[in-house]
A and B are shown apart, each in its own frame.
Chain A
Amino acid sequence: MSVLTERLSVQKKMGRKGLIIYLTAGYPDMDTTLAAVLAAAEAGADIIEIGIPFSDPIADGPVIQKAATLALNRGATTAQALDLIRRIRAKTAVPLAAMTYTNTILHYGPEAFMNDFGAAGINGVIVPDLPLEETDLLADVCRKASIDLIQFIAPTSTAERIAAISKQASGFLYCISTTGVTGVQALDYKPIAVAIEAARKTTNVPVAIGFGIGSPAAARQAAKYADAVIVGSAVVDRLGSQGVNGVRDLVGAMREELDREGC
């Protein structure tokens, strides 16, 4: 079983919701990202997404855009992100997913990317501009490297698409909470809840809700509809304003809220 699936399944068996935390590699610098990842893992994150900065992140809102721009301006590269992942893996067994855009992987070479990042300790890749129609580009190389290629469903996904996407799902199914980009906002989870229900008919992989979840209360609310929640912008924002301890506190508070009875 995939490392990502296993982690979320173990939690599920214990009646707990999974918590997936996103951080941008190189924001505000690689050493701080490393410290923040370790803090998030200790505070109860089940999976950490490492964002490899790309110049044109079309699926990201202002917070993560800014983090990527700042990291790039400070000289962050894909090679440095790879090194960061090695350093993380040397210190923790927390499941890891790399989140980046198609061009970053294409430029590196899909096979080389999966081999190198797989060897460094990545368990999955999340590519928000690679819809089902284009997954051929990475599906084989991911399979060979035993890396989960995370699939997305959105509130706009049709029944046919949900069935086709779910069939390809591995690791976990990334369910986009809202039409829009990443970033904290008030949400109506009903449309994605309907989509999740449909997806569960086709796939047994755990489902995770992401986009827009900004607080422990919001995490708890979103978790009602899924096996796990994904939190990105709020954590990156907290890292910028309060540093590594701020991340530890936020992740810890989310963990606590998710573990509270009735979730």
Chain B
Amino acid sequence: MADKRGRFGGYGGQFVPETVMPALTELEDFYNEVKSDPEFQAEYASYLAEYAGRPTLLYYAKNLTEHYGRGRIYLKREDLLHTGAHKINNALGQALLARRMGKRRIVAETGAGQHGVACATVAALFGLECRVFMGKEDMERQALNVFRMRLLGTEVVPVTSGSGTLKDATSEALRYWVTNVRDTHYIIGSVVGPHPYPMIVRDFQAVIGQEVRKQIRTLQGAKLRYIVACVGGGSNAMGIFHPFKDDHEVKKIGVEAAGKGVDTGEHAASLSNGRPGVLHGAFSYLLQNNDGQVIEAYSISAGLDYPGVGPEHAAFKDSGVAEYVTVTDGEALAAFKRLAQIEGIIPALESSHAVAYLEKLMPLTTKDEAVVICLSGRGDKDVQAVAKVMEGL
């Protein structure tokens, strides 16, 4: 739980210009009100059920289980949600918040485009004006999502400042918000940014873990021992981990992107290889050079290449609530292909990192143990990019 000043074991905080502080306070007060408002929660739940398609399945991956011949593997199918990823959980919740606050405009940043598409979608649904900042390079990598956002009526703004990726898109979205704070709500896409965002996004994503809690009755005698999720900013991982935070029998494993390898310097493993610092309003693990300049993250997956990470993950790492590991581009690509061919499910490249970790994890499991993978998104958006790098597909 975040304390009054938004700290998770020393991480987090509100490192933002004074101009937006009143808006953060307003948001926090407003959120605390609706959090305990049954009417708001019922409205949110009904949109999740009837619009987004919740609850999502906890699918027993029989073929993949047989492939490893050890514990039972279950996939939490966030990829089956409307718009194709878990991002809609948060976008819906925050758009409802914005509407209640009387803000007619929303602004968002996006990396892979999934959060941008989710925001564009809810903006269309609720008649809100929407603007999404996206790195120029990401716009090229994820052209399909750019088209989807524009089709949904959202203005997609290319970001060329800095290195032109998610980090810079987030800075631009923050600057836009600072400028238009009176009538605009900023929907951050992950459990990052200044307090109260890491808490709000976590709460809206916690539905993933809450459902898993109910669904584990169906594990057919096996005992849930592991939950594995990919971590960029960390929203799907926090969403599935948090409801199991105090459950020491269940090991939570966050998988960061090792890119071309953590030793090459071209990776996005902030928790595994970064040092604590301040970026985008929060104190957390951060990829930075010897002068405290933020280093550009790299991953084949646009949704993971962010040099920071949610502050609550930083606290989880230090306190041992969760463990964080890394998976390279190559391992993720192999998992992408493996899941497609063995289960007939094409995972997002982000989620492929979690799937890839099964290679290391499964030999350690026994037949009566269950592993839940958060399949955070579907891979349709990635097929073109993957086709380029993967021969013989």
Q: Which of A41-49, A129-137, A242-250 contacts B (4 or more CB under 8 A)?
A: A129-137
Contacting B at CB under 8 A, from A122-159, are 128-134, 152-158
Structural contact, A132 and B16, CB atoms closer than 8 A: no
Q: Which of A7-15, A57-65, A84-92, A218-226 contacts B (4 or more CB under 8 A)?
A: A57-65
Does B69 lie at the interface of the complex (its beta carbon under 8 Å from any beta carbon of A)? no
Chain A residues, Cβ within 8 Å of B13: 133-134
Contacting A at CB under 8 A, from B246-303, are 277-281, 283, 286, 288, 291-294
Contacting A at CB under 8 A, from B9-47, are 13-23
Q: Which of A31-39, A173-181, A232-240 contacts B (4 or more CB under 8 A)?
A: A173-181
Tell me whether A134 and B15 are in contact in the complex, defined as CB-CB below 8 angstroms, given that A56-B279, A69-B162, A161-B22 are known contacts.
Answer: yes
Interchain CA distance A103-B278 in the complex, whole Å: 5
A77, chain B: closest CB distance, angstroms = 5
Interchain CA distance A157-B283 in the complex, whole Å: 23
Mask of B163-183 contacts with A, CB within 8 angstroms, 1/0 = 000011001001100111110
Does B5 lie at the interface of the complex (its beta carbon under 8 Å from any beta carbon of A)? yes
Instruction: Tell me the count of chain A residues lying within 8 A, CB to CB, of chain B.
Output: 42
* 27 A-B pairs with C-beta separation under 8 A: A54-B293, A55-B294, A56-B162, A56-B171, A56-B279, A57-B171, A58-B171, A59-B178, A66-B161, A69-B162, A78-B292, A79-B291, A101-B278, A106-B283, A107-B291, A131-B16, A131-B21, A133-B5, A133-B21, A134-B13, A157-B18, A161-B18, A161-B22, A165-B18, A176-B17, A181-B178, A181-B179
Structural contact, B182 and A179, CB atoms closer than 8 A: yes
Structural contact, A153 and B278, CB atoms closer than 8 A: no
Mask of B310-328 contacts with A, CB within 8 angstroms, 1/0 = 0000000000000000000
Chain B residues, Cβ within 8 Å of A132: 18, 21
Chain B residues, Cβ within 8 Å of A161: 18, 21-22
B26, chain A: closest CB distance, angstroms = 9
Interchain CA distance A132-B5 in the complex, whole Å: 12
Chain B residues, Cβ within 8 Å of A134: 13-15
Interchain CA distance A161-B23 in the complex, whole Å: 12
Does A104 lie at the interface of the complex (its beta carbon under 8 Å from any beta carbon of B)? yes
Interchain CA distance A69-B293 in the complex, whole Å: 11
Question: What is the number of contacts between chain A and chain B, taking CB atoms within 8 Å?
Answer: 117
Chain B residues, Cβ within 8 Å of A157: 18, 21-22
Interchain CA distance A128-B283 in the complex, whole Å: 15
A157, chain B: closest CB distance, angstroms = 6
Binding site for A on B (CB under 8 A): 5, 13-23, 161-162, 167-168, 171, 174-175, 178-182, 277-281, 283, 286, 288, 291-294
A169, chain B: closest CB distance, angstroms = 12
B186, chain A: closest CB distance, angstroms = 12
Chain A residues, Cβ within 8 Å of B20: 156
Does A72 lie at the interface of the complex (its beta carbon under 8 Å from any beta carbon of B)? yes
Among B20, B179, B182, B293, the most chain A Cβ lie within 10 Å of the Cβ of: B293
Structural contact, A180 and B19, CB atoms closer than 8 A: yes
Interchain CA distance A57-B161 in the complex, whole Å: 11
B108, chain A: closest CB distance, angstroms = 16
Structural contact, A106 and B277, CB atoms closer than 8 A: yes
B294, chain A: closest CB distance, angstroms = 4
Contact for A176 among B18, B168, B180, B293, CB less than 8 A: B18
Minimum CB distance partner of A174 in chain B: B18
Structural contact, A103 and B288, CB atoms closer than 8 A: yes
A114, chain B: closest CB distance, angstroms = 15
Chain A residues, Cβ within 8 Å of B277: 103, 106-107
Interchain CA distance A33-B66 in the complex, whole Å: 66
Structural contact, A156 and B175, CB atoms closer than 8 A: no
Chain B residues, Cβ within 8 Å of A165: 18
Structural contact, A77 and B178, CB atoms closer than 8 A: no
Interchain CA distance A154-B16 in the complex, whole Å: 12
Among B19, B20, B181, B280, the most chain A Cβ lie within 10 Å of the Cβ of: B19
Structural contact, B15 and A176, CB atoms closer than 8 A: no
Structural contact, B17 and A62, CB atoms closer than 8 A: no
Among A58, A132, A134, A157, the most chain B Cβ lie within 10 Å of the Cβ of: A58
Contact for B22 among A65, A128, A156, CB less than 8 A: A156
Structural contact, B293 and A156, CB atoms closer than 8 A: no
Chain A residues, Cβ within 8 Å of B279: 56, 103
Contact for B288 among A61, A107, A129, A180, CB less than 8 A: A107
Structural contact, B280 and A154, CB atoms closer than 8 A: no
Contact for B18 among A61, A72, A153, A181, CB less than 8 A: A153
Structural contact, B162 and A179, CB atoms closer than 8 A: no
Interchain CA distance A129-B294 in the complex, whole Å: 15
The 6 A-B residue pairs whose C-beta atoms are closest, nearest first, are A107-B292, A180-B179, A154-B19, A152-B18, A55-B293, A103-B278
Chain B residues, Cβ within 8 Å of A179: 19, 178-182
